[in-house]
Amino acid sequence: MPEDDHRRTIDGTGAAPLVGVGTAVWARSGSAADLEAPPEPATVDPAVERGRFDDAKARAREELERERERTAERIGEAEAAVFDAHRQFLDDPQITDAVADAIADRLPAEHAVRRAFEGPIDQFQETDGTVAERADDLRDVRDRLLRILAGDDGVDLGTVPDGTVVLVRRLTPSDAARLDPDRVAGFATVEGGRTAHAAIFARSIGVPAVVDAGEELRSIEAGATVLVDGDAGSVIVDPTTEQRKRVEVGGDVEIRAAPVSTADGNPIAVDANVCTLSDLEAAIHHGADGIGLFRTEFLFLDRPTPPNEDEQVETYAEVLDAFPEGRVVVRTLDVGGDKPISPPGRPGAEHSFLGERGIRRSLGPDADRFETQLRALLRAEAVGEGSLSVPFPMVSTVGELEAAIAAVESAAGALAEEGVDYAMPELGAMIETPSAALLAEAFAERVDFLSIGTNDLTQYVMAAAREDDRVAHLHDPCEPAVLRIVERAVRAGHSGGARIGMCGEMAADSELTELLIGLGLDELSVTPHSIPEVKASVTGVDTDEARSFAERALEATTKPTVRDYVADR
Amino acid sequence: MERIVTVAPEDGLHVRPATAFVRTANGFDANVRVGPADGDLVEAESVLAVTSLGVPSGRAVRIVAKGADAEAALDALEAVLSTPEAKRST
C-alpha cells in the first residue's frame, strides 16, 4: 500500500458529537450476506446440523440473558426489554420449525437460519412504523445465530483493552449493550441510520460514534489507529498529530461546576440536553448549569401506552430536583419526524418531518396526551426544586402558540378546581421552523423565552431532510442562510423581550461558541459531554470582538467562507 | 373450548400485546390457537404468527384452547386482550 494511502478519511454520519482515537478492532457480527453458496446436499448430515443449531440457540439464549442484565443495569429496564423480544423470536416455533425443515432439506445450519428468517423479516419490513423496526430485531437475532455458528465468539466488547475503536457491520442493540464506555474510544459501523435505537444508546452512554460509513470502512485493518469523529461524522485512519489534538483537547478540558461568563463578564448559561433520566448524571458530572432541553418523547417511545400523569409528575420532579439552583427546560411531546410513536387509532401513520408533528399533534389528535402532560408539568413545578420552563415544539404560527398557552391555562384552572397543588412554569417556544424565526418578535411578546432548535431549523431552511444521507452535506449550521435566520430570530426575540437559547448540534460545536455569543445568544444547551469544552470556549470570548466577528460571518455567502472564518479565529 | 374476545390495546395485537399474549399462552399446558373471529387460526405460541394476523384494536378474535387447563388459559388470555394498557415487559 502506498504511504499516502494510510492516512485517509471515510465519511459517515455522526451519531454522537464526541471525538475519540484508538486501536481498531472488528466485532464481526455474522451477516447473512457473507454466506457462501450452500455445499452439495449429499455432504450435509442433518443430524450434525441439527445439533449445531441447537447448540447455537442455547449459546444465543445465554448471551441474551447476560446482555439483558447488563442493559437493565446500565441503561434502563425499558431498553432492556428489547432483549426479551429477541429471546421470544429465538424460541419462536415458526422460526424453529422453518429451520428444522431447511435442515431436513439438507441445508447446513447457517443457510437454514438464513432461510427461516427471510419470510418473517420481509413480513415485518412491509409494515409501517414501529413494527418495521422489529425487522431489525429479527435481523439481530439471525445475525447472532450466524456469528455463533461461524465459530466466532465475538469480541467481548465489555473486556476490550482501553482505547479500542470498535468497528462493526451494523450497530445492533446487543453491540451497544456490550460496549463499555470506559474502555471503548469510539465506534463505527458500515450500515445503519443515525436514528436507529442503538445509535441513541451510543449517544446516551457517551461513546463517539459514526454510523453508515459504507463498505470502505471494511478496508480498515484490525490494529490500525483510527480516529472517530462523531461530530463531523468521519473516521480517520492513521490520523495526524494535528488531528489527534482535537481529541486530547476534548479529553483534558477542566470540568467547571459553576456558571461561566465571557472574558468581559457577560454570563452565558451552558445547559445540558437530555433524553432520559440516566443522562442526568452525565449532565451533573460535566458541570451543566441546568437542563436546557429534556426531550420528553423518550418517555413515550417503545411502549404501547403513554406514561400516566402521576408517573410523569415523578419523572419531571426528579429532573427538577437534580438542578435545585438551575433552570430545567422540559419540552412538551414532540412526536413525529424521526421519533415515530404510534398515534392512537392510526397505526403506522406517516410521521413526516413536514407533517403532523410536535405542537400540531398536541393541539390535534394528541390533545388528551398533551393535557395529561401539562397537568403533570404544572404539578411537578409545585413539588420539584429547580425552576421549570416549558417550551412548545414545532410552533409555526402565533395562533398555535396562543392555543398552547391557553391549554396550559386550562390545565391550571382544572387543577385549581380539583384542589391539586400546582405552580405555573415559565413558558417558551421552540424556534424550529422558518416561520417561527420570522415571527420571533411576536412569539417573544407572548412567552418568557425562545429556544432555537438548530437541527430542525437547519433542515427546514435548507429543505434537506435530517434522515436522508444524500443531502447530509446541506445539513450544516454554517450555511449562510442558517446563520442569517438565527441572527434574525435572536434580534427579533430580544426586541420582543424574551431570553434566547439554542439547543442542537450547532450549540455543541465549541468552535462556533464565539460566533453564537456574537449573534447574541444568552444560553447554550448541549450534549452533556460537550459542556466542559463549550464552557472553556465561553470564558475566552470577548463580547465586542465576538459581535464584529459575527457581523463579518453574516456577510459571507458560502459555507466554506464561514468555515474559513471560524477556522481562522 | 373457545371464546370470542374484543382486542382492547390501542395498538391492536401488535408486537408488545402479542408478546404478552404468547407468553401467557405458553404458561399453560393447553394447546391454544387464535385468529380473527371469522378467519383462520394460528398457533398462539408463535409471536410471529400472532403478530402476522394484524388484528387492530376493537376487532373480535376467536381463541380456541384444548387441554386440561383450557378454561384457565382462556380466562388469562381474555384478561390480556381486554387490558387496554398492555404491560410493558411482563
Question: Using one digit for the tens of pLDDT, what is the confidence trace for A47-84?
Answer: 999 999 999 999 999 989 988 888 787 777 777 878 88
- The residue to which cell 439481530 is assigned: A140
Pairs across A and B, CB distance < 8 A: 65
Instruction: Identify the pLDDT of residue B85.
Output: 55
The length of chain B in residues reads: 90
| pLDDT of amino acid A233 | 83
A527 falls in which pLDDT band (50, 70, 90)?
Answer: confident
pLDDT tier for residue A151 given thresholds of 50, 70 and 90: confident
Q: What is the pLDDT of residues A374-398, one digit of tens each?
A: 999 999 999 999 999 999 999 999 9
Question: Does B85 contact A304 at a Cβ distance shorter than 8 Å?
Answer: yes
What is the percentage of chain A residues whose pLDDT exceeds 70?
86
- Single out the catalytic residue among B5, B14, B30, B63: B14
Specify the pLDDT at position A336: 66
- Residue A136: all three cell numbers together: 431489525
A374 to chain B, minimum CA–CA distance in Å?
21
Mean pLDDT of all residues in chain A? 85
Nearest to B48 among A80, A94, A344 (CB): A94
Does A6 qualify as catalytic in the annotation? no
CB contacts, 8 Å: A94 with chain B: 46, 48-49
Please indicate whether, in this complex, the C-beta atoms of A304 and B52 are within 8 angstroms of each other: no
Q: For residue A168, what pLDDT band results from cuts at 50, 70 and 90? A: confident
Q: What is the pLDDT of residue A244?
A: 79
Which tens digit of pLDDT belongs to each residue from B27-77? 899 999 999 888 889 999 888 888 888 888 888 999 999 998 999 999 999
Buried b or exposed e, range A11-24, using 16+ CB within 10 angstroms: bbbbbbbbbbbbbb
Contact with chain B for residue A88, Cβ under 8 A: yes
Q: Sheet harboring B31-36: ordered strands across?
A: B2-6, B60-66, B31-36, B42-43
∠A446-A454-A340 over CA atoms, to 5°? Answer: 90
Nearest by CB to A305, from B56, B85, B89: name it. Answer: B85
CA distance A411 to A445: 22
Contact A304 B11 (CB under 8 A): yes
Residue A155 binned pLDDT confidence (cut-offs 50, 70, 90) = low
pLDDT tens, A529-553?
889 889 999 999 999 999 999 999 9
The pLDDT tens digits for A186-219 are 889 887 755 455 566 666 677 888 888 888 898 8
Query: In this model, does residue A21 exceed pLDDT 70?
Result: yes
A-chain CB neighbours of B88 within 8 Å are: 78, 81, 303
Can you give the pLDDT at residue A349? Answer: 47
- Three-class DSSP category at A238: coil
pTM exceeding the 0.80 threshold for the entire prediction? no
Cα–Cα distance, A331 to A323 (Å, whole number): 16
- The whole-angstrom distance between B72's CA and the closest CA on chain A is 23
- What 3 state SS string does A541-554 have? CCHHHHHHHHHHHH
Q: Can you state the percent helix, strand and coil of chain B, rounding each to 5? A: 35, 20, 45
| SS3 state of residue A331 | strand
Rank A165-179, A236-250, B8-22, B46-60 by mean pLDDT and report only the highest: B46-60
C-alpha cell at A277: 433520566
* Model pLDDT, residue A1: 38
